[in-house]
Chain A
Amino acid sequence: MAQIFHRSTNFIARFSLFSGIFLAGLALTAVLGLARSPYFTRQNVTREQPVQFSHKHHVGDDGIDCRYCHTAVESSATAGVPPTKTCMSCHSVLYNNVGYLEPVRESYRTDKSIEWVKVHRLADYVYFNHSIHVNKGVGCSTCHGRVDQMPLTFQSSTLLMEWCLDCHRGTEKVLRPLDKVYDMTWEPGPDQAELGKKFHAERNIRDTTELTSCSTCHR
């Protein structure tokens, strides 16, 4: 019986097989890449807020400390978004009649909260605690980036689990002197690896096994 397929079709078969694998790989890469893309992580995406609040102005230009507004950061899981009263403690005197601060004044007048759009949205099932990080010498800018240069706030990290684990597996990369935690301009020096190891030991920081146990963050 004559062959149904010509010899040349072998090539097509091989090509299909290999390109199938290639395509599957490509698709996987695309999916993984997409999951890490800002489209999904919302990294570097600014949000429309009820008040065009500028961290650049308040932190960068005016030099207000992070903790002036985010009062709970040293003692609580959440850093805390300030109550309207904190805004009004200055803005009852400064810029007290500009139009774009009307929502703030209205909130204070009517006793209704300003509804800010959340920028840093952690994945479900995660229990992050600000206080332990700042107390152990992880600075604000390590996770939040140069907030003092953000006219509108965006999330500068991916907030993916691999990003968390990156530090939990190598704390020496990010630990800084305790007096530099709220310093936006702090950059790791060339001796960071050594310094970080020293800080890790000095501050009784738990080792990688402990820091990467599931229940450290999930419960």
Chain B
Amino acid sequence: MDGMSHHDHKRDVDNHPPTAEEIQLKEYRLDLAAVRNKLAGKQGKQYWRTLEELSEDPHFTDLLHREFPRAASEWDDAVDRRDFLKLMGASLALAGMAGCGLPDQDRIVPYVKQPEGLVLGKPQYYATVMPFAGDALGLLVESHEGRPTKIEGNPEHPASLGASDVLAQASVLDLYDPDRAKVTTYMGEISTWESFQAAAQGLATSQKAVNGAGLRILTGAINSPAVAAQIENLLKLFPQAHWHQWEPAGGDGAFEGAKLAFGRPVNTVYRVEKADVILSLDADFMASGPGHIRYTKEFYRRRNLSGSGKDEMNRLYVVEPTPTVTGATADNRLPLKANDVELFARALAAKISGGSAAAPAGSDPFLEAVAADLQKHRGASLVVAGEQQSAETHALAHQLNEALGNVGSTVYYTEPVTAAPVSYRESFHDLCAAMARGKVDLLIIVGANPVYDAPHDWDFVNKLKKVGTVVHLSSHYNETSEYSHWHVPEAHFLETWGDARAFDGTYSVVQPLIAPLYRAHSAFEVLAAFSDKPGVSAYDTVRERMKTLAGAGDAEKFWRKSLNDGFVAGSAFAPISVSAKSAAALPPAKATAAIEFLFRPDPSVYDGRFANNGWLQELAKPVSKISWDNAALMSPATAEKLGVTHTIMSRGGEHGQIRSAVIEIALSNSKVTAAAWVVPGQADGVVVLPLGYGRKKAGYTGSNKGFSAYAVRASSALWNAADGKITVTSDDYPIACTQYHHNVEGRKILSTATLEEYKQNPAFAREHDETPPDGLTLYKDYRELGYYQGHKWAMAIDLTKCNGCNACVVACQSENNIPVVGKDQVMRGREMHWIRIDRYYETGLSTQQDDPKENPALANPKTYFQPVPCQQCENAPCEQVCPVGATVHSAEGLNDMVYNRCIGTRYCSNNCPYKVRRFNFLRFQDWETPSLKLLRNPEVTVRSRGVMEKCTYCVQRINNVRITAEREGEPGVGRPIRDGEIVTACEQACPSEAIVFGDANDPNSRVSKLRAQQRNYNLLGELNARPRTTYLGAVRNPHPGLAPAEKSEKKEPA
């Protein structure tokens, strides 16, 4: 923890606007009591992003009155004025010289034998799957002359349907990570794969002599049939060997719950599309877990509003302890402690199937509403239990689905997708016990990183030291590699052959796009090295399996087709018939602790395996909007009780820098210090400790970020720990939270309504629209100059469908060569994402709200997400102020950015009302690292220092599609561009289909139809910038009986 100087936290009580000097000296310290008092006097709807905003503190308000944070342009590193002048002098002198050289003599290096089917200069697309923690996502990967550069979802793969998520999008950066392990090592010294193979055979021989009694294999969840077969083969060769599995972020609840309910493990598959009413019991089923992308697609396909006002929507209830992507966008959400979620499920089961169980305090109205709604939609409802929930909750969800007649319609069961499903906790415990007894002579660790992520009370490191030989396969030389004898670099999934089963059992082929960059090998090869056929390749094994799958058909043709598709059509598992035991059979419920400590995988780095991925680290987490760190999350009331607060720094332009109180958490006989963070909407008495941070040996990007929640994670309480103690220290810690950046000062840029309100007033989004009449402008009207004659590109973003998952942000970063800037720069408000997702809370306050303590604004606010890319204005304020014509209007209405003209005045950004322009304050792009050069999209300029940049509507994709269209059809003439042919990177990645791009001149295009809806509105229409990106107001479908506050008359505060 960074122990910076102690600040004077006294708050200015005067209400006069602060002078510049005062602001220089003072920071703003969050005062929750003041926020609540302010709220008590409020009526009607109000949108806010940060608690400070809600308090209307004058100091904070002053911070907002700036485009870029104060002195964001200042270089306040260790270069003083004198050094600066020296540097300037030198660079001016050199600048004169730079113009004198002749252009380099570039070389053209053609192929010797060009691969068949390759057209020089055109990307190729290959289908593959990303295997990840027992899940498999079908992908289409773009490859430029053999370099994979961009990952997209595979439209035909059942798990993807064309969309993807942040982890898939960012996985291409992992491939080119310069910190990857590059060579096999023995005892830390460089060795070779061949010597490893020889050593492996030696070890295998000695194990053979004892029937493998000393051999243990540790893997993560395995959903690759080829790897599973290889392990089975080893277990056959070494009958006394054991296979253990450990997924630190994979809950055992689903496995144990299925055993409780059905007496056997099953795989649960949902048909979200068929569900009218969905209840999520702490399940983030739209952001994590097998099939989440498909589920998101299906869920939001039930939320296509036609604009007629006669639309119907499905309804989502979420009961959860901490806001997730799924919960934040639910129609009705109830924050409950994790254990209370189980109690809630028990009470619900009792209500529906008979019996009696008390609901957790305060949840009765919600329970009544949910129970009635579920029963009303028997056979078309769905109950989903969360990965981190207890076995009982899972069993209850199974029982509820059965009682509601949903099995066979909205949910079905299949054989497990992962090979040999186990309880990870028990399986890993068995290994630790064997290691402690000194029974393990040879431990093969495939992919896992137990030294970092094992429960601390099992003392894994000391047990590992007792093992004769440890073989470790991992992509990086990490914490576990340090304690291993042999370390083999693991090949990325884009470098290796393999197979995987998707959420529904669909057999998919992992197809490499590139030969391993380094001397890396796959899990299959490492396991094979110990077998009787050490040289066998994954490719041959997969092909063999395909031959059996092909059956009587032409095996070669079948192989080609499956490879082309990325999966074997019709290979999904058939539903099996199981019946759930009754609720009475469940073990009795546990009592809920006063303070729960919950361990959750991080939305960006998951369990820590993605810690060295800069794209994911810099990504602001969906709800908390923290980048580069994790923090102990708690509700406002809990924070107030503990005396936890944070201070916003207003000095040195550190606008996004929040110094948050550091707390010490004593839990399970261990201690960790963590920055605290207040999350409105979290259940009171819940402290969430996100996993995946505090890595010691992750690499340059990932090491020593945040705190390691594994340090206090005990085997007895993997997900939910009680009896912890929190001590607030006097330290504080800087957190980079982007939701303090790019603030638009309470202007109405978000429009929301309930389904009922929408039906009464389909034009709710335009209610306060003050767009001036067309033509009322001093700017030249481009239409009169003959612009927009051909195409008129436009984007419509349906806020009803955005759940803030961030997939678009990373997709854009990957497509457009957007650099990573680091935590320090993010804290200066200099993050470079071309599309940002703003998270808004809505307070629907009523006059009857007497007790501010009960205020739903802080305890359970409605949450909305709004993606904001460049609005591509027709009357663009940025264009008017550029002194060098570096941002100019295109004939199709794009605000073109011409990097080579830009001299970095930043006037355009200053004049942009939407704050979507990004400036390269420093040379953020890495131009030196060779592997990162392979990553870049060759279709997009790599920008350097001093240049402004912003969303271009993926103009490279527009141009490429246009050229293709003009080339096809009648020679010389071409054909029109089809609607939906141009897909921007954000649109392509979006799992909820919230973003639609197209030609507004074509009345039949999807985007025109959306723009014609009454829900369509402009951001800040009163400015008359005439943006081409428009928004469709967010409609939620809450239970009418559950939201009294919203029913009160609406008054807009002046």
Interface residues in chain A, defined as those with a beta carbon under 8 Å from any beta carbon in chain B? 40, 42, 47, 71-72, 74-78, 80-85, 107-108, 111-118, 121, 124-125, 127, 129, 131-132, 135-137, 178, 199, 202-204, 206-207, 209-210, 213-216, 218-219
- Find out whether the CB atom of A203 lies under 8 angstroms from the CB atom of B896: no
A108 and B112: CB pair below 8 A?
yes
- CB-CB under 8 A for A215 and B890, given A72-B119, A204-B966: yes
Q: How far is the CA of A131 from the CA of B121 in the complex (A)?
A: 11
Residues of A near B959 (CB, < 8 A) are 127, 129, 215-216, 219
- Chain B residues in 8 Å Cβ range of A216: 890, 959
- B570 located at the interface, meaning its Cβ lies under 8 Å from any Cβ of chain A in the complex: no
Partner of B939, one of A85, A114, A118, A219: A219
A172 to chain B minimum Cβ distance, whole angstroms, is 15
B 306-337 to A, binary, CB cutoff 8 A, 1 in contact else 0: 00000000000000000000000000000000
A149 to B900 CA separation, bound complex (whole angstroms): 36
From the candidates B108, B119, B787, name the one contacting A81 in the complex (CB within 8 A): B108
Closest to B106 in A: A118
User: Separation in Å of the A124 CB from the closest CB of chain B?
Assistant: 7
List, sorted by A's number, 8 A–B pairs whose CB atoms are closer than 8 Å: A76-B120, A76-B121, A78-B120, A85-B111, A132-B963, A206-B790, A218-B899, A219-B939
Contacting pair B900 A218 (CB below 8 A): yes
Given A135-B971, A210-B790, are A80 and B898 also a contact pair (CB < 8 Å)? no
Nearest CB of B to A30, in Å: 14
For B362, list chain A residues within 8 Å (CB): none
Cβ contact within 8 Å between A203 and B110 = no
Tell me what chain B mostly uses at the interface: helix, strand, loop, or mixed.
Answer: loop
Q: Is B1003 located at the chain interface by the 8 A CB criterion?
A: no
The chain B residue with its CB closest to the CB of A116 is B108
Residues of the A chain whose Cβ atoms lie less than 8 Å from the Cβ of B958: 215
B939 touches A84 (CB 8 A): no
B16 within 8 A of A: no
Q: Judge whether A40 and B102 touch: CB under 8 Å.
A: yes
The answer for the CA separation of A207 and B971 in the assembled complex, in Å, is: 19
Across the interface, which residues of A come within 8 angstroms of B896, CB to CB? 213-215, 218
- Further 14 A-B residue pairs, CB within 8 A, beyond A113-B111, A127-B956, A215-B896: A75-B122, A76-B120, A85-B114, A113-B112, A115-B107, A131-B963, A132-B967, A135-B972, A136-B966, A214-B888, A214-B890, A214-B898, A215-B959, A219-B959
CA distance A213 to B785 in the complex (A): 13
Whether the Cβ atoms of B102 and A118 lie closer than 8 Å is no
- Which of A111, A114, A135, A207 is the one whose CB lies under 8 Å from B110? A114
A69, B109: Cα distance in complex, Å: 15
- B569 close to chain A: CB less than 8 A: no
**Which residues of chain A are within 8 angstroms of B952 by Cβ–Cβ distance?**
215, 219
**B103 interface residue per 8 A CB criterion:** yes
B955 at the interface (CB under 8 A from A): yes
Mark contacts of B967-996 with chain A using CB atoms, 8 A cut-off: 1 yes-contact digit, 0 otherwise.
100011110000000000000000000000
In the complex, what's the smallest C-beta–C-beta distance from A160 to chain B, in angstroms? Answer: 13
In the complex, residue of chain A having the shortest beta-carbon distance to the beta carbon of B888? A214
**Is A135's CB under 8 angstroms from B966's CB?**
yes
How far apart sit A219 and B114, CA to CA, in the bound complex (Å)?
Answer: 29
Whether the pair B120, A203 counts as a contact (CB closer than 8 A) is no
> At the interface, yes or no: B894 with Cβ under 8 Å from chain A?
yes
Rounded to whole angstroms, the CA-CA distance of A118 and B110 in the bound complex is 11
B105 within 8 A of A: yes
- Using a CB–CB cutoff of 8 Å, the interface residues on chain B facing chain A are 102-103, 105-114, 119-122, 785-787, 789-790, 888-892, 894, 896, 898-900, 939-941, 952, 955-956, 958-959, 963, 966-967, 971-974
- Closest CB in chain B relative to A98 CB, distance in Å: 20
Q: Secondary structure of the A side of the interface?
A: loop
Check A83/B790 contact, CB under 8 A, given A76-B119, A136-B972, A214-B898: no
Q: Smallest distance from the beta carbon of B1051 to chain A beta carbons, Å?
A: 46
Given contacts A76-B119, A78-B121, A215-B896, contact A118 B890 (CB under 8 A): no
By a CB distance below 8 angstroms, the chain A residues around B107 are 115-118
> Min CB distance, A71 to chain B, in Å?
8
Assembled-state Cα–Cα distance A213/B897 (Å):
11
How many Å lie between the Cα of A84 and that of B112 in the bound state?
A: 5
Partner of A207, one of B106, B113, B119, B786: B786
Which residues of chain A are within 8 angstroms of B121 by Cβ–Cβ distance? 72, 76-78, 80
Roughly how many angstroms separate A81 CA and B120 CA in the complex, as a whole number? 9
Of listed A82, A107, A132, residue having the most chain B CB within 10 A: A132
- The residue of chain B having its C-beta at the shortest distance from the C-beta of A70 within the complex is B120
With a cutoff of 8 Å between Cβ atoms, the chain A residues found around residue B113 in the complex are 83-85, 111
Chain A residue with Cβ nearest B103? A121
In the complex, the chain A residue whose C-beta lies closest to that of B886 is A214
CB-contact partner of B111 in A76, A83, A131, A202, under 8 A: A83
In angstroms, how far is the closest chain A Cβ from the Cβ of B894?
6
Question: Which residues in A have their C-beta under 8 angstroms from that of B894?
Answer: 213, 215
Q: How far is the CA of A137 from the CA of B972 in the complex (A)?
A: 7
Among B790, B892, B955, point to the contact of A219 (Cβ < 8 A). B955
Q: Give bound CA distance, A113 to B145, whole Å.
A: 15
Q: Report how far A215 CA is from B972 CA in the complex, Å.
A: 22
Indicate if the CB atoms of A125 and B941 lie closer than 8 Å.
yes
Cα–Cα, bound, A16→B965 (Å)? 62
Ranked 8 nearest A-B pairs via Cβ: A78-B121, A213-B890, A80-B120, A76-B121, A83-B111, A118-B106, A210-B891, A214-B896
A185 → B minimal CB distance (Å):
21
Please name all residues of chain A whose beta carbon is closer than 8 Å to the beta carbon of B105 when the two chains form the complex.
47, 117-118
Interchain CB contact under 8 A, A204 and B787: no
Chain B residues with Cβ below 8 Å from A82 are 110
The CA-CA distance from A216 to B114 in the complex, in Å, is 30
B111 to chain A, nearest CB (A): 4
Whole-angstrom CA separation of A219 from B899 in the bound complex? 8
Q: How far is the CB of A86 from chain B (nearest CB, A)?
A: 8
Knowing A108-B112, A118-B107 are in contact, say whether A127-B939 is a contact too (CB < 8 A): yes
Contact B785 A209 (CB under 8 A): yes
Chain A residues contacting B890 (CB-CB under 8 Å) are 210, 213-216
**Cα(A112)–Cα(B112), bound, Å:** 7
List the B residue with the shortest CB-CB distance to A110: B112
Docked Cα-Cα span, A119 to B123, in Å, equals 24
Q: Compute how far the CA of A80 lies from the CA of B110 in the bound complex, rounded to whole angstroms.
A: 8
- The distance from the CB of A176 to the nearest CB of chain B, in whole angstroms, is 11
Contacts of B122 in A (CB 8 A): 72, 75-77
Identify the closest chain B residue to A175 (Cβ). B972
B120: chain A residues within 8 A (beta carbon): 71-72, 76, 78, 80-81
With A83-B113, A132-B966 as given contacts, are A219 and B106 in contact (CB-CB < 8 Å)?
no
Most A C-beta atoms less than 10 A away, residue of B107, B790, B941, B972: B972
When distances are taken between beta carbons in the complex, the residues of chain B under 8 Å from A113 are: 109-112
The minimal Cβ–Cβ distance linking B175 to chain A, given in whole angstroms, is 24
Closest to B111 in A: A83
- A125: chain B residues at CB < 8 Å are 898-900, 941
State the CA gap A78–B120 with chains docked (Å): 7
Closest approach, in angstroms, between the C-beta of A133 and any C-beta of chain B?
10
Contacts known (A204-B973, A210-B790); A75 close to B956, Cβ less than 8 A? no
Distance in angstroms from B952 CB to nearest chain A CB is: 6
On whether the beta carbons of A209 and B971 are closer than 8 Å, the reply is: no
Contacts of B941 in A (CB 8 A): 124-125, 218-219
When chains A and B are docked, how far (Å) is the Cα of A77 from the Cα of B963?
Answer: 9
Question: Considering the chains assembled together, what is the distance between the CA atoms of A177 and B110 in angstroms?
Answer: 31
Q: Which residues of B contact A83 (CB under 8 A)?
A: 110-114
Q: Choose from A76, A108, A115, A199 the contact partner of B108 (Cβ within 8 Å).
A: A115
Q: Which residue of B lies closest to A35 (CB)?
A: B99
Inter-chain CA distance A141–B44, complex, in Å, is 70
Which residue of chain A has its CB nearest to the CB of B108?
Answer: A116
Complex Cα distance A71/B114, Å? 11
